[in-house]
Amino acid sequence: MSSTFFGLTIAYSGLNTAQAQINTTANNISNVNTVGYSRQVVNTVASSALRCYQSWGTTGTGVEAESVTQHRDAYYDEKYWNNSSALGFYEKKQYYMNQIENYYSELNSQAGFSTIYAKMFNAMSTMQGSPGDMTVRKQFISTAKQLTEYFNQLSTKLDELQSAINDEIKTAVDDINAVSEKVAILTKQINVIEQGGGHANELRDQRSNLIDKLSKLVDVKVEEREVRNSADPDMKTGATYYTVYINGQVLVDTYEHNTLAVKSRELSELHNQSDIDGLYDIIWEKDGNVFNATPSSSGGELKAMFEVRDGNNKENLQGQVVQSSAKTITIAYTNTTKINELNLPSRGQLETNSTKYTYDDFSFNTNEDGEIETVTFYLNETLNVLEQKNVLSKPLEVGNAVAYMGIPYYHNQMNLFLRNFCEAFNNVEIGAELYDANGRAITDIDLDNLPAELYDKNGDLIDDIDKYLEDVGVDRNGDRMGSFFIAKDKIDLSVEHQMRDDNTSATIYSKEDVDDSTKKYESYYLLTAKNVSIAKKTDKDAALFATTNLGNFTSGVDAAHLIEDIQKLQSKTELFRGSGGDSFLQCMYSDVTVDTQECKIFTSNFTNIQSAISDQRMSIAGVDEDEEALDLIKFQNAYNLASKCISVFSEIYDRLILQTGV
């Protein structure tokens, strides 16, 4: 039989539980604006019934506040993290692509490509009418110099953006490491509390907030499993295993966290010709293995950084190994046959048969049409006999193929245009022979049979014959004076190619081909947007710019046959993607705007999805002020009723004890 004062105990349990519910509601209201806070609730159960040995069997003993837990749905957390990763990926890409778009846009600059390009050919048209006028020549050379400076500056801007992204990658790695360390620490604290029977609600909120932050940077997956007693599998210990994966790789394993580090690429590890020095790769600090920042199925800001920084649209050199030796690997069947299209670093890293090698030299073997037949790489490593056999007939790739039009892609497109344009321009200037009045090629200037105007009244040759020949654009051998467009700090691009024994051209010399190693590169392949320039001699002396190559060279500086040929380069000659040079900006701008628009569309879509998921998430975990106000009234009434019960029992006991006599 229950105690006489049993009713007071029941009323007290209701009073105590209502007090806990009011306190929890007050805590929710206090944290209504706390970022990441999850609404907490008091979980109540009826107390164990008491056997009373009456016909009804048992009697209730009141209510118990079993626990205070947070309202959170793991399903919506996972949805939020997946979408956050995709949103971060496209937001970061859009940010970078907007900058690249601004670089090529002519709306923000009065000196864009189309303006400078047209201005140069307009100056050439003026020069055609008076090619002997040095002032007109200088005006043309000045506009040509503006074109080279435009590409120099644009290349510098892309380099600066690549450097800025590289710095952001390091910052992102630091953020990931900081998050992983905090998650491991919080997991330990949570397990300590919950093994003692409590619920670490606030610590769990902090940990979830860290995962929210991490999901913006990389693709995140979280697993939480209960730890059970090894002697009794049905017995829960209260602790959990908590594992965090990023891009499919373990970052946090309960109390242990793996640390990432950045490693600067050496000159022998460059992936693209235009890459700046010191680009970072990410490795795991514990074993030095490479961290895959760009798996195909993931997202996150980190992946966007790598794609924009390293994206070459998979136009890096790829081929099939056809020959190997201890120090060389030769490939054929390459993905391009045009030298000017290559994005190949002078020294770099190649991979074949799942093994990476570094090279510090290479040479091309081209056919009579100048198309690549084979490429030979001169390795830093020495291959043993087995390795030489294993690489044969295997695919080879130089650098990494990144399927996105990033900074290396735009560099290479500018290089392609400039190589084609400058080569065509220089070929007009230096590629044709001079002819005399009888149509015979001039291979030597006959000093005994020169025009009368070159002799004075005494029949002596005037002193400035060389100056006269320079005005025509030739030397005493009838040879052109050299290239107009050059690569700064490189050798003259007009040097004839060495012929091999099989009558094919060694477009890029190897160390074995020539004694002078400075002649290793004699190709327009070395001309880039970074180094294109006007020849210093021509820049200083406009008379060195040749204007004629047909008819009697004695027509001199007043002839303009070459100018007529050069003017065809403006739009009539195929120079870039099957179009004339004037289509360059249109092609480039279409590339960048398509990618930018794609990023804008996906950013908008994933933002809307994020908003919908957040609303669903907050409908469960968020604190609603109106709902809490209603709960406050409800729990207040429960408290008042419990208090009333105690008051009633007090009167009963007063009557029983003080007013009941014998």
Least confident of 214-218, 377-381, 555-559, 607-611: 555-559
What's the pLDDT at 449? 59
Residue 419 has pLDDT above 50, yes or no: yes
Tokens of 102: 């601004």
What's the pLDDT at 472? 52
Q: Which residue carries 């004629």 as its tokens?
A: 548
Distances (CA, A) of 257 to 181, 189, 248, 610: 6, 15, 15, 29
Amino acid identity, residue 614?
Answer: S
Distances (CA, A) of 362 to 166, 331, 601: 28, 11, 43
Residue 552 has pLDDT above 80, yes or no: no
pLDDT per position as a tens digit, 51-75 = 776 776 678 889 999 999 999 999 9
Report the chain's mean pLDDT, rounded to a whole number.
84
For residues 31-43, give the mean pLDDT.
Answer: 93
Amino acid identity, residue 568?
Answer: K
Beta strand segments in 181-219, E: none
pLDDT band at 427 (very low <50, low <70, confident <90, very high): confident
Beta-bridged to residue 231, according to DSSP, are none
Residue 275 has pLDDT above 60, yes or no: yes
What's the pLDDT at 262? 96
Pairing mode, strands 260-264 and 256-257: unpaired
Residue 466 has pLDDT above 80, yes or no: no
Contact between 251 and 244 under an 8 Å Cβ cutoff? The reply is: yes
What's the pLDDT at 445? 52
Least confident of 127-141, 351-365, 495-509: 495-509
What's the pLDDT at 37? 94
Give percent helix, percent strand, percent coil of the chain, each to the nearest 5.
Answer: 50, 20, 35
Which residue did the predictor score with more confidence, 563 or 29? 29
Tokens of 266: 């050496």
For residue 617, give the nearest of 79, 201, 25, 215 by alpha carbon.
79
Helices 407-430 and 301-310 cross at an angle (nearest 10°) of 10
Compute φ and ψ for 69, nearest 5 degrees: -125, 165
pLDDT band at 469 (very low <50, low <70, confident <90, very high): low
For residue 158, give the nearest of 528, 523, 525 by alpha carbon.
528
Q: Which residue carries 């400039």 as its tokens?
A: 418
pLDDT band at 607 (very low <50, low <70, confident <90, very high): very high
CB atoms within 10 A of CB 255: 12
Most confident of 83-87, 371-375, 468-472, 506-510: 83-87
pLDDT > 90 fraction of the chain, expressed in percent and rounded: 57
CA 428 to mean position of chain CA atoms: 39
For residues 114-137, give the mean pLDDT.
Answer: 88
What's the pLDDT at 652? 87
What's the pLDDT at 45? 94
For residue 446, give the nearest of 458, 456, 434 by alpha carbon.
434
pLDDT band at 48 (very low <50, low <70, confident <90, very high): confident
What's the pLDDT at 19? 95
For residues 590-597, give the mean pLDDT.
Answer: 92
Bin 197: left if φ > 0, else alpha if -120 < ψ < 50, else beta. left
Q: What is the DSSP letter of 638?
A: H
What's the pLDDT at 450? 59
What's the pLDDT at 360? 87
What's the pLDDT at 463? 58
What's the pLDDT at 502? 42
Least confident of 9-18, 33-42, 251-260, 367-376: 367-376
Contact between 407 and 162 under an 8 Å Cβ cutoff? The reply is: yes
CA 136 to mean position of chain CA atoms: 45
For residues 295-303, give the mean pLDDT.
Answer: 89
Most confident of 59-68, 464-473, 497-506, 520-529: 59-68
pLDDT band at 323 (very low <50, low <70, confident <90, very high): very high
30 Cβ partners below 8 Å, 6+ apart? none
Q: What is the DSSP letter of 482?
A: -
Residue 440 has pLDDT above 50, yes or no: no
Q: Which residue carries 């394993």 as its tokens?
A: 253
pLDDT band at 33 (very low <50, low <70, confident <90, very high): very high
Least confident of 9-23, 205-219, 522-536, 586-600: 522-536
233 Cβ partners below 8 Å, 6+ apart? none
Which residue did the predictor score with more confidence, 45 or 579? 45
Residue 627 has pLDDT above 90, yes or no: yes
Bin 221: left if φ > 0, else alpha if -120 < ψ < 50, else beta. beta
pLDDT band at 558 (very low <50, low <70, confident <90, very high): low
